[in-house]
Amino acid sequence: MKLGIFGGTFNPIHYGHLRAAEEVREKLKLDKIIFVPSGNPPMKDRELADARHRYKMVRLAAFKNRSFTVSDIEYKKKNKSYSVNTLKELHRLYKGARLYFILGIDAFIDIPNWWQPDKLVSLTDFVVISRPSFRFEELSSSPYLEADGNILKRLDSGKIESYKTGLKGGRDIIMMRLTALSISATLIRKLLHQDKSIKYLLPEEVESYIISTKLYKIKEGGKTLKKLKKQR
């Protein structure tokens, strides 16, 4: 069995996330994509809705696709969530499955700052996907990847759509260009702060949930939702 692991804060989840997951699943012929909403992430301050809300939104977004499933492995944890521990647990739950850890260019570059990065890159194969404002050429700075600079340039220019090579540690990495959708959770939260429409940026079910729970609305005194640390 081949499983894609798509972690993140999903603050909130939107069509950019869903389309990326579907393209990776299709191109790699994965059996399932497992979304893993973060619980109590350890890094990076950001306006972050409570974990229970983000978990519910991901479930609402994923339920129509039989190839998508949602894990509560981090949502249920009271302590900080680390990708190393999450992947160890997923290996235990899905014995014999081949796991593909899906993340953006910027996130992969930042892996040396994550918890136990050397262990992390030995636990799973990686799928590094394109993101607006980031170039595959930037991956040349990663200490875990040895890739021909010309190939990275060809990915950036669109001359090739994907490239597979090895990681230091013995695992594989697949770099993949995806359909460019300039949708971000930051943009959605900004529109909500301004009382503007977020329709067609995310599934209707998620939009309705956000509106009914009044998520991401600025509170009196200019204070927003509590700040936590982003998952890594």
- Give the pLDDT confidence score for residue 172 in this predicted structure: 97
The answer to whether residues 230 and 46 touch, using CB atoms and an 8 Å cutoff, is yes
Residue 231 lies in a domain: no
With a cut of 70, which residues of the chain have pLDDT below it?
40-46, 218-232
Q: 228 in a domain, yes or no?
A: no
pLDDT digits (tens, 9 = 90+) for 124-176: 999 999 998 899 999 999 999 988 999 999 999 999 999 999 998 899 999 99
Question: 201 lies in a domain?
Answer: no
Q: Which two tokens stand for residue 140?
A: 């040349």
% of the chain at pLDDT higher than 70:
91
> What's the CATH code of the domain at 34?
3.40.50.620
Domain span including residue 14: 2-176
Give the chain's domain count: 1
| Phi, psi (rounded to 5 degrees) for 206 | -70, -40
> Is 183 contained in some domain?
no
Q: Is residue 185 part of a domain?
A: no
Instruction: Copy the structure tokens of residue 11.
Output: 């603050």
Per-residue model confidence (pLDDT) at position 80:
82
Structure confidence at residue 220 (pLDDT) = 40
How buried is 11 (Cβ within 10 angstroms: 0-12 exposed, 13-18 middle, 19+ buried)? buried
Q: Is residue 216 part of a domain?
A: no
Where does residue 205 rank: exposed (0-12), middle (13-18), buried (19+ CB within 10 A)? middle
Tell me, what DSSP letter sits at residue 135?
-
pLDDT of amino acid 96: 94
35 within a domain of the structure (yes/no): yes
Spatial distance between the Cα atoms of 26 and 30, rounded to a whole number of angstroms? 7
